[in-house]
Structure 1
Amino acid sequence: MALLHFHIPDSIPRVVMLAVTMPALCATMWIQDAHSQASQEADPSRIEDQLIEREVPSRKPTADDLSLGIAGAGTDDINVPPFILSGVTVEGATAFSGEEIAATYASLLATQIGSTELESIAGRITALYRDAGYVLSRAILPPQDVTTGIIRIQIIEGYVSHVTTDGTVPEYAIKGYASRITAERPLTLTTLERNMLLINDMPGVSLKDAVLSEDEAVQGAHTLALEIGLDRIGGSFFVDNRGSAEVGPVQAGTSVELRNTIGFGDAVSVAGFTVPSEPRELKLIRIGYTTPIGSSGLQMSVSGTASWIDAGGTLDAVGDESNLKAVSASLAYPIVRARESNLWLNTSLDVRSAEERTDFGTVFDEDLVVLRGSISGMVADDWGGRSYVTFRASKGIRLMNAAKRGDLLLSRVDADPQAATLTVDVSRYQQLVDDLLSVTLAGRAQRATDALVSSEEFSLGGARFGRGFEYGELTGDDGIAGSIEFTIAPDIELAWVSSPQIYAFYDTGAVWNRNVVFGDARQSLSSAGAGIRLTFADDFNAGFELAKPLDRDSSRTNTDEWQALFFLSGQL
């Protein structure tokens, strides 16, 4: 936190100067101490990120829920007398060379074969296609005379000739995605999955079913029939008590999304957050707009945020108030979009103006422009697990009168607003006993090139790392954190209640600060606890958690005692 700044003319005698400045300096020290003990939630630079972390995710079907309805690779029964295989003629193959196909049956040449081996040859060639992703292609044995020793294999390279919908969405809305499916011949699973999932990614669109049927008149041609759900308006809400005495502790948020407003596939969202019992402590509003650019999966988003905080708790005595104004523009593109793997590229430009003041003066007044980029990946494997990783880089830039190092009213005196950071997030979800028992491992690390302004610091505490502590319990230029959670999900259905989860967790983390004069450059925390999560009527969720700080007192209670936490959330 930046020091308060006073200018004393040289003409004032030293005794008078001390008499004037000592009370103010004492007040400054008291305010800084209060800030070190009070919640970082009173910092307007961080409040938006904390609230976004708790927003309710979409209930749209996941990639696993989407059935592609692809038929098997079976071959017709064949009955021929034994013969010596002297050659194979392959017709209709364009995806593979003759040498690649010949490698599948080379071991059978000049040997005696029968019906079983003939079916095996067709099956091997079909497998060659299927393993390469040509899921609609297959090899067949047309009627023929095998007494010459030369057999004929016909390759049916499958494709989709038509894409139809149930009329829920206009044809032009999916034309670009459909054209990519019909243009590829033979069709690969990569292209089919990608474009179906991109349709499902559009706001308000849910791909409920997909059926592939082969054209009886044209070999290899298929029709893809899509059943699509469309919600033109949606919303969500959450309530929890992870706030602090300064801003909370109970906080609530709600959002409304209007879809297909200017063009199909776009969305306008409005979100608001507050403290229900003391709305003056927090008022935040965010307006956003998202739209696809073309049909390749590229998305553009813009948003604007404004917040006002009139802190309570220990900061109320000094009249601590703060505000934030921020705008952001971003582009996101799916390099890979599939059911079992995804890779997203994202870039954004954030412009923020944050100010905090008390009855004694301005604590900080900071304008930032930050360029960000990230790449996020997910891979599902055959061991019943999913792995996630995200690399994020950010760099402050000098545009539009952005703050610079040495400015008097930075959120941290020693900070470099143009510093760069690299952050890595990893997590692993692993089933241990079917769907009954699972474990989730997660980690995060950050490295900075220099001391950071408050909004860019690595933070511990809150719903992810440091659950026994409030948001921003510890912050630093560099940091590392990890957590482990075991979850039991009994297969029981109760009236209005489904998908109960009982879990236990442990988390820990540490931060490092540069240029530390007082205190330790390294600080750490850890906590453990257990809880239960419930789903009601598929759309509403509730949870109760007991969490205990293990190695330091929590700023929420100023003790290391157990804390009772709850949340309610839902989709509307």
Structure 2
Amino acid sequence: MALAALGVAQAACISAAEPGTVPPDVQRAAQMTEHKPDAGMLQNEWRDRQRLTASQLANGNGSVQLPEGQKPSLNMDTATKVRVKAFKITGQDVVEDQKLQDLLADKKGKDLTFADLQQGADTLTDYFRNHGYLIAKTYLPAQDVTDGVITYDVVIGRVDDVTIQNHTGQKSGNGQHHTERISDKALYRQTKFLKHGDYVTRTNLERAVWLLSDLAEADAKVTLSPGSEPGTVHILLDVEPYQSKHGLISGDNYGSRSMGYNEYGIDYDFRNLAHEGDHLATSISTSGRHMFDWGANYTIPVIQDGLKMTVGYNVLSYDLGDEYSYLDGVGRSRVASLGFDYAIDRGRRHNLYTGIRYEHSQIKDEYRSFGATYGDKTGNAMVFSLYGDDQDTAGTTNWRVDYKWGHITNKSLYSSNIYDQWLADSPRTTGTYEKLRGYIERHQDINERLYLLLTAQGQYAFSNLDSSEHFSLGGPYGVKAYPTSEASGDTGYLTRAELRWLLPLKKHDQQLQLATYLEHGGIWINKDSSINPGAKNHRNLQGIGVGLIWQRYQDWFVRMDYAWPLGAEEPISDRSHTNGHFWIRTGFYF
């Protein structure tokens, strides 16, 4: 995606200058471009705006009926009553006996009929099933009840065997869409944790169904049937092809004055290239002659269930326009990455993931009018992630935490004399750095047509950061009342409260939403501001706005927003929209 940013010119070295000297015209250019975008900032904005797209997943459907008469049952006349002195619970080793006894405590010392005793069995069955043992069943075996001790036998249910029916690679939907076949080996890799003799639990069944459905163009469901031995079940996993669009053509005005406001992009996913449930996500976007970026990210399941590897390469280049055109400023960033993500918990209502990623970046910025290279940076970093989502009866919560540790060098800073002479108040961002970043969003249902989105995100820097690692407040993904990348710095936070109303439509395949929101954020430009104590180091942005979202699922979408600033804080990076901003983005799937 095309990005534009508020940038602070980082330390510089002038290739054509003698060590210890800085040409006056270059000094003047640097001063005039204090808020000029650079490749590092653009790279950072591109990374921030990548959407995490949730896979379209199928809900598993598990059911089982135990064979009739697999164990003798208690033969007792319905009118007969038994004085109960105690209960004995057999056949299970997963719950403390006292917890189960407590469930039956109100029946002790009473005269109970067969129906009363059966009610106790149902109570135990419900307890096990509510705690994830989907096919657990408690029954009254044949026994002598004259001593007042009632025995309940619990059959929790164990795995007999697992079968996967692989229907991928067949036509789906209306028969006009053909998917690539996923290999049987790739499917069984996602379910190998289902072992013979293990207890059948909701957690394990959901994990199997949803991991299979996470594979590219796969949709899974599960059916349980009696196994070859009493108390066991046969697990049948049916994997069908899943039909969805592969591409997206989009356009928006999310850019900037110096890079161009209008942006255009194409995204396309190539799926099952290796028949492993893998996919290659590619993207190209541009704002015209001033900005161009492209990327390719390949994800493939590896080694064991729930583990995926991603390899990526992304390139962004720009040249400055508008009032900066006389500088002939150009820049480019290249980022290569290798990462692994593992699904610790995978289910319908709760998901927890962890990830680790290595990034190598090369960033270069030049003023060609002066033969000057003011940034030639190389970065290496490790990112450790923990993220997930939870669904309850009132809504869903999504969250993510990233810790990044890295090191960045700038070849342009070959002379400390130039560094001190030209940028005496520089934040000195080269070297080792650390930062912590977090995000949380709550989707709270109010009624069938009204819901609330509450979002908070932020970044904490342990030292002064390069522009490529900054946190920004303004723009369509931040405080919409301000320009893209307005107020960028080392440490910051952003909050949003958005109320959405689903408007009634005659066309049921379309959705129209009206949104109103309040946004607020704060930024600390430098973690350590002691180098330049007189400069302003903190900014707050806030605004209100309204939006309209109109879409047809997997066909097209349009979002329009207009937002107004609150308070006296004026934009710095772009003063052409001081009274508010209008944003629009549209896209077509194919």
Tell me the TM-score normalised to structure 1 length: 0.85
Are 1:478 and 2:509 an aligned pair?
no
Q: Secondary structure at the match of 1:179?
A: coil
Structure 1 residue identity aligned to 2:285: F
Structure 1 residue identity aligned to 2:378: D
Q: Is the 8 A contact 2:219 2:241 kept in 1?
A: yes
Structure 1 residue identity aligned to 2:125: T
Are 1:323 and 2:332 an aligned pair?
yes
Q: Is the 8 A contact 2:378 2:408 kept in 1?
A: no
Per-residue CA deviations over 1:367-419 (Å, capped at 9, x if unaligned) read 1112211211322234x022233222112237999999969789965214312
Q: What is the aligned partner in structure 2 of residue 29 from structure 1?
A: 31
Which one of the candidate residues 30, 37, 61 is aligned to 1:68? 61
Q: Secondary structure at the match of 1:419?
A: strand
Tell me the distance in 2 between the aligned counterparts of 1:408 and 1:349. Answer: 32
Equivalent residues in 2 for 1:109-120, closer than 5 Å: 109-120=108-119
Are 1:163 and 2:167 an aligned pair?
no
Q: Is the 8 A contact 2:482 2:580 kept in 1?
A: no
Name the Cα RMSD after superposition.
Answer: 3.4
Q: What is the aligned partner in structure 1 of residue 521 from structure 2?
A: 509
Deviates most, 162-171 or 286-295: 162-171
Equivalent residues in 2 for 1:154-303, closer than 5 Å: 154-160=153-159, 161-165=161-165, 167-168=167-168, 169-183=182-196, 185-207=198-220, 209-214=221-226, 218-230=230-242, 234-275=246-287, 278=288, 280-303=289-312
Q: Compute the displacement of 1:473 (Å).
A: 0.8
Question: Closer, same or farther in 2 for the Cα pair 1:28/1:517, shift >3 Å?
Answer: farther
Tell me the distance in 2 between the aligned counterparts of 1:172 and 1:532. Answer: 46
Q: Is the 8 A contact 2:39 2:333 kept in 1?
A: yes
Tell me the distance in 1 between the aligned counterparts of 2:396 and 2:359. Answer: 31
Q: Compute the displacement of 1:260 (Å).
A: 2.3
Q: What is the aligned partner in structure 1 of residue 510 from structure 2?
A: 498
Tell me the distance in 1 between the aligned counterparts of 2:199 and 2:494. Answer: 47
Aligned length: 548
Tell me the distance in 1 between the aligned counterparts of 2:196 and 2:553. Answer: 42
Deviates most, 402-411 or 147-156: 402-411
Tell me the distance in 1 between the aligned counterparts of 2:387 and 2:413. Answer: 30
Q: Secondary structure at the match of 2:40?
A: helix
Are 1:366 and 2:377 an aligned pair?
yes
Q: What is the aligned partner in structure 1 of residue 174 from structure 2?
A: none
Tell me the distance in 2 between the aligned counterparts of 1:96 and 1:30. Answer: 71
Per-residue CA deviations over 1:411-459 (Å, capped at 9, x if unaligned) read 9652143121112222222112x23111111112222122111111121
Tell me the distance in 1 between the aligned counterparts of 2:378 and 2:416. Answer: 13
Question: Closer, same or farther in 2 for the Cα pair 1:269/1:388, shift >3 Å?
Answer: closer
Q: Secondary structure at the match of 2:251?
A: strand
Question: Closer, same or farther in 2 for the Cα pair 1:458/1:10, shift >3 Å?
Answer: closer
Identity %: 19
Q: What is the aligned partner in structure 2 of residue 559 from structure 1?
A: 577
Question: Closer, same or farther in 2 for the Cα pair 1:351/1:179, shift >3 Å?
Answer: closer
Tell me the distance in 2 between the aligned counterparts of 1:355 and 1:10. Answer: 20
Q: Secondary structure at the match of 2:199?
A: coil
- Higher helix fraction: Structure 1 or Structure 2? 1
Q: Compute the displacement of 1:328 (Å).
A: 0.9
Which one of the candidate residues 495, 509, 520 is aligned to 2:536? 520
Equivalent residues in 2 for 1:525-540, closer than 5 Å: 525-540=541-556
Q: What is the aligned partner in structure 2 of residue 140 from structure 1?
A: 139
Are 1:338 and 2:333 an aligned pair?
no
Identify which of structures 1 and 2 has the higher relative contact order when contacts are C-alpha pairs closer than 8 Å and 6+ apart: 2
Tell me the distance in 2 between the aligned counterparts of 1:493 and 1:57. Answer: 31
Which one of the candidate residues 532, 547, 550 is aligned to 2:563? 547
Equivalent residues in 2 for 1:77-88, closer than 5 Å: 79-88=78-87
Tell me the distance in 2 between the aligned counterparts of 1:401 and 1:205. Answer: 48
Tell me the TM-score normalised to structure 2 length: 0.83
Which one of the candidate residues 444, 452, 460 is aligned to 1:447? 460
Structure 2 residue identity aligned to 1:566: I
Tell me the distance in 1 between the aligned counterparts of 2:352 and 2:533. Answer: 43
Tell me the distance in 2 between the aligned counterparts of 1:206 and 1:52. Answer: 30
Structure 2 residue identity aligned to 1:367: T
Structure 2 residue identity aligned to 1:61: Q
Structure 2 residue identity aligned to 1:242: Y
Q: Compute the displacement of 1:220 (Å).
A: 4.1
Are 1:397 and 2:407 an aligned pair?
yes
Unaligned 5+ runs, structure 2: 1-8, 169-181
Structure 1 residue identity aligned to 2:564: K
Q: What is the aligned partner in structure 1 of residue 178 from structure 2?
A: none
Are 1:314 and 2:301 an aligned pair?
no
Q: What is the aligned partner in structure 1 of residue 6 from structure 2?
A: none
Which one of the candidate residues 415, 425, 450 is aligned to 1:437? 450
Structure 1 residue identity aligned to 2:296: I
Q: Is the 8 A contact 1:377 1:390 kept in 2?
A: yes
Question: Closer, same or farther in 2 for the Cα pair 1:98/1:404, shift >3 Å?
Answer: farther
Q: What is the aligned partner in structure 2 of residue 14 from structure 1?
A: none
Q: Secondary structure at the match of 1:397?
A: strand
Q: Is the 8 A contact 1:59 1:571 kept in 2?
A: no
Question: Closer, same or farther in 2 for the Cα pair 1:100/1:24, shift >3 Å?
Answer: closer
Unaligned 5+ runs, structure 1: 12-16
Tell me the distance in 2 between the aligned counterparts of 1:540 and 1:184. Answer: 48
Tell me the distance in 1 between the aligned counterparts of 2:453 and 2:167. Answer: 41
Q: Secondary structure at the match of 2:193?
A: helix
Q: Compute the displacement of 1:191 (Å).
A: 1.4
Tell me the distance in 1 between the aligned counterparts of 2:338 and 2:432. Answer: 19
Q: Compute the displacement of 1:530 (Å).
A: 0.5
Question: Closer, same or farther in 2 for the Cα pair 1:568/1:57, shift >3 Å?
Answer: farther
Deviates most, 435-444 or 228-237: 228-237
Tell me the distance in 2 between the aligned counterparts of 1:71 and 1:490. Answer: 41
